Structure 1
Amino acid sequence: MEKVRTTSWEWLKAIMIALTLAFIVRMFLFAPIVVDGHSMQPTLEPDDKMIVNQIEYSISEPERFDIVVFHAPGGKDYIKRIIGLPGEKIEYVDDTLHVNDEPIEEPFLDDLKKGLYGQVLTGDFSLQELTGNETVPEDHYFMMGDNRRLSKDSRDIGAIAKEEIIGRANVVVWPFDNIQIVNNE
């Protein structure tokens, strides 16, 4: 009888440790997210299930073109791409991103632009026109979806504070035919 009780106690401890570790990993390290909507197509498809790395930005800074999840105004979480970093002047001219008056290539948009047969994907704008700020504010980031025509992003909701960024999302884990590590280029 004592052996059964000891074995049961060992199993119970193992299960409790496993559940505690799973809780810690889920709450503080990695979290699942489901892509909702078409704003990141063709890079991400609606209903793609991804893993969000919640610790990366506690040890490093977000970089241009990282795909991130953040708390948006209205209590919803968005998944978008970082286009502008703190202190940068952002504008689009003739469907080309300009950062501090220098054109920047966005190779992840090439296939989408080809499918438009010469039509504009991203209309002209400047950060100054949208927000009244000449540059992205300190500790803020300018976010845009890859499907620029269908994306509600920093053009609508403004720059996003760093503390609102949940983490980087670059691993698609479902559906099986779309499992991939999403590159920033």
Structure 2
Amino acid sequence: MQEEKTSNFKKEILSYIKIIVITAVVVFGCKQFLFAPIKVQGASMYPTYHDKDIIIVSKTSKIERFDQIVFQSPVEDELYIKRVIGLPGDKVEMKDDVLYVNGKAYKEDYVNRQTEDPNQLRITENFTLEQLVNEQEVPKGMFFVLGDNRLKSSDSRHYGLISEDAVYGESKLILYPFSHFHIGSK
């Protein structure tokens, strides 16, 4: 009788260990290949994201214009989050604080237009893609990105285009703090 109890106990423990191992493998696999939590650092994407927001990033999304992507910074060993403005083949220009992509004007409701300087006329300086990166259009396999808080963002205007190989994933939701919870793009 005692041997049977011991055997059943061992089987039950082994069953729990199997469940824990399988769960750990599934969680690790999801984090590695499907999605991951990321903590936003800084104010470059304000008002879309606040410093220390925790977001969930999809690693399998097809990147489209105006998606917010997380990528390996080309200038330091950190992950950055910015908005995709130019896709491969796009011509990008900013003129009088209006964004033009392939000659079409876009209203950027997501841009932080508040400034501490009442004399600040423009939030984003005039530029063409050619002036910034010496290309007439975004090359294949690259993205042109900008922060939503243009006056406080280091982005493609400063360090150039982002390789699609550097992209970690697309932001899909703000998880924390709960007061900022939001699913999908803003």
Letter in 2 for 1:71: Q
Aligned mates of 1:93, 1:126 — CA distance in 2: 8
- Report how far residue 182 of structure 1 moved: 4.2
Is structure 2 residue 91 aligned with structure 1 residue 86? no
Choose between structure 1 and 2: higher helix proportion: 1
Is structure 2 residue 41 aligned with structure 1 residue 41? no
Is structure 2 residue 111 aligned with structure 1 residue 106? no
Aligned mates of 2:125, 2:184 — CA distance in 1: 25
Aligned mates of 2:99, 2:110 — CA distance in 1: 13
* Structure 2 SS opposite 1:81: strand
CA RMSD of aligned residues (A): 1.4
* Structure 1 SS opposite 2:173: strand
TM-score normalised according to structure 2 size:
0.90
Is structure 2 residue 129 aligned with structure 1 residue 127? yes
| Unaligned segments of structure 2, at least 5 residues | 1-5
Aligned mates of 1:35, 1:54 — CA distance in 2: 17
Letter in 2 for 1:67: Q
1:29 to 20, 25, 34: 34
Aligned mates of 1:183, 1:138 — CA distance in 2: 24
The CA deviation string for residues 129-171 of structure 1, in whole angstroms up to 9 with x for no partner, is 1111111111111000000011000111111111111110130
Match of 2:185 in 1: 183
- Report how far residue 106 of structure 1 moved: 1.5
Identity of aligned residues (%): 36
Match of 1:20 in 2: 25
| Unaligned segments of structure 1, at least 5 residues | none
Aligned mates of 1:65, 1:119 — CA distance in 2: 24
- Report how far residue 101 of structure 1 moved: 2.2
Poorly superposed stretches of 4+, deviation over 3 Å: 115-118
Match of 1:148 in 2: 150
Letter in 2 for 1:70: F
TM-score normalised according to structure 1 size:
0.91
Aligned mates of 2:44, 2:158 — CA distance in 1: 13
The CA deviation string for residues 78-97 of structure 1, in whole angstroms up to 9 with x for no partner, is 10000011111111000000
- Report how far residue 119 of structure 1 moved: 2.8
Aligned mates of 2:154, 2:56 — CA distance in 1: 22
Match of 1:50 in 2: 55
* Structure 2 SS opposite 1:107: coil
